[in-house]
Amino acid sequence: MSLKLPQAPNSGLFKQGYQSHTSADGVIIKNIEAVREISSILLTSMGPSGRNKIIINQLGRIFITNDAATMLNELEIVHPAVKILIMASKQQEFEMGDNTNLVIILAGEFLNIAEKLLNLGLNVTEIMQGYNLANKFVMDTLESLVVSNVESITETSELLKVIKPVISAKQYGNEDLISKLVIDAVKIVINPKKPQNFNIDSIRVVKIMGSSLSNSEVVKGMVFPREPEGHIKNIKTKSKVVVFTCPIDISTTETKGTVLLHNAKEMLDFSKGEEQQLDQMCKEISDSGVNVVVAGANIGELALHYFNKHGILVLRVPSKFDLRRICQVCGATPLPRLGAPMPDEMGIVDVIETKEIGGDRVTIFRQDESISRTSTIILRGATQNSLDDIERAIDDGVNAIKGLLKDNRLLPGAGAIEIELIKLITQYGEKTPGLLQLAIKHYAKAFEVIPRVLAETSGLDSSELLSKLYAAHALDDNKGINFGIDIDNDSDDGLLDVKEHGILDLLSAKKSAIDLATDATNTILSIDQIIMAKRAGGPQMPKQPRPGNWDQAD
């Protein structure tokens, strides 16, 4: 009797609905194709002349941006290999806050080159070993290619070296104005004696529509895009602040009850006790010296009436993050209970004022004398999309300071460092025996994508410029390393001295991006099989918009 084989391989191993793709099906090539797709989306968005993308997310919200981190957050990607790359990019965003685009683009180029090497007959293991050797060489070599460093974190000219190139990549043309706003905000927050304590959350951005970017300003303290609840709007003297995280209202019972009232007097007396209790609580808060109450939840109308009676300014702040920051600014302790605060639970603020900026009423908590380690940038602009994009540029500029505190050394920008790396890695590859030489030399070619894209998005002839760059970097003197692409094409040969023009990149951010890109590439190359289970639940229905007049999603 002959043995009957199952109809499909692994049909008895997995539950029904499983899908399996093996290396025989060309899974490595499929993964490379998927990564190439995401890489090509982000490729044209790199650099000062990078193109914007319109992204409409599942909620119907529109994003117009060239910021890689925003795009990756809003795109619903399901391919597992691409998700590995996105995780590497998010790690770069978390650690450095910038160069997220570089991780995806380099990894995409490394994989493109790996595909060519696979077609030539190289083994995946040989490619990975070559890439690892080349990456180790790059990490050691970058240290010797440093052309400048930041001496002082309190000097405007020194901070400009780091912040201006980062903001130029996002907002070319407005970089001087935005860099000044970021530096003013950073100087308020950073402590020269303990710069390592710098926290990027201490710099906030409040966007107010109208006017133009030139009318933006920096405030020492916090700005809330809402006005106080009661009649008291301004306090010009130093005031004591108390922060409540619970609702300020008459406490309600958990169960419902019925009250039988026999006459009008009982009806009048029914709510008197509650009113007296609330009045007593507001009086206790006022007697403790508090002039300002910040509430994290609802404020009842009766409580508001008694706060007005006792001359207390009341501000409602629904965001728990803003509550945390206001406690940090004023030195207050958030209280989960109602009642008079203890002396050590109160905070102090110098000036509270309500202003009208472009038709919007805002409340400003200003710290003039006392040291406040929080600053707010009030951004003005014509459209919400432009304000969002400027906010992302500011975010990158502030994150650059975080990277600067880890390592103050700077590399040449504008594609100069990439061309120099191609030269050095190729020389290293020629000294390496065996098949690994091929992988190392091809690894070097991947870096050509950066200057090529910078040239192409600027409308220049990339082939001609790259040949000029190679020629400039082939010179033996130390000046060759400083030649990068002139995107404005003001010079005769299309090249400029990046050190002279202050176009510099952070060493720590560049090292991290190259390392993460190589790591993600090797992880994707090492995959030889994808096994997918059937998705849980019923058929996936398309999301329908909710009926009615719903508010716009945050």
Give tens-digit pLDDT for 368-378: 655 567 788 88
User: What's the fold here for domain 18-147+412-533?
Assistant: GROEL; domain 1 (1.10.560)
Q: Which amino acid is at 485?
A: I
Q: What percent of the chain has pLDDT over 70?
A: 85
Residue 513 identity: A
Q: What is the pTM of this model?
A: 0.75
Q: How many CB atoms lie within 10 A of CB 530?
A: 16
Is the alpha carbon torsion for 86, 90, 91, 97 positive or negative?
A: positive
pLDDT tens, position by position, 89-144: 888 878 777 778 888 888 888 888 888 888 877 787 888 888 888 888 888 888 88
Beta strands 347-349 and 239-244 are: antiparallel
Which pLDDT score is estimated for 240? 79
The 10s digit of each residue's pLDDT in 178-230 is 888 888 888 877 777 777 777 777 788 888 887 778 878 887 777 877 777 77
Token representation of residue 280: 């007593």
Gap between the Cα atoms of 350 and 219, Å rounded: 13
> CA-CA distance, 186 to 178, in Å (whole number)?
12
Q: What is the 3-state secondary structure (H, E, C) of 118-170?
A: HHHCCCHHHHHHHHHHHHHHHHHHHHHHCCEECCCCCCHHHHHHHHHHHHHCC
271 pLDDT above the threshold of 80? no
Domain ranges for the chain: 18-147+412-533, 221-253+260-371
The residue that leads in pLDDT, 248 or 110, is 110
Q: Is the pLDDT of residue 412 over 70?
A: yes
Q: Which amino acid is residue 548, in one-letter code?
A: G
- Residue 56: other Cβ atoms inside 10 A: 10
pLDDT at 546: 52
21: confidence class by pLDDT, cuts 50, 70, 90: low
Q: Which helix (H) or strand (E) holds 221?
A: strand 217-224
User: How far apart are alpha carbons 155 and 175 in whole angstroms?
Assistant: 18
What confidence tier does 327 reach under pLDDT thresholds 50, 70, 90? confident
Contacts of 526 (CB under 8 A, 6+ apart): 124, 128
What CATH class does 221-253+260-371 carry? alpha beta
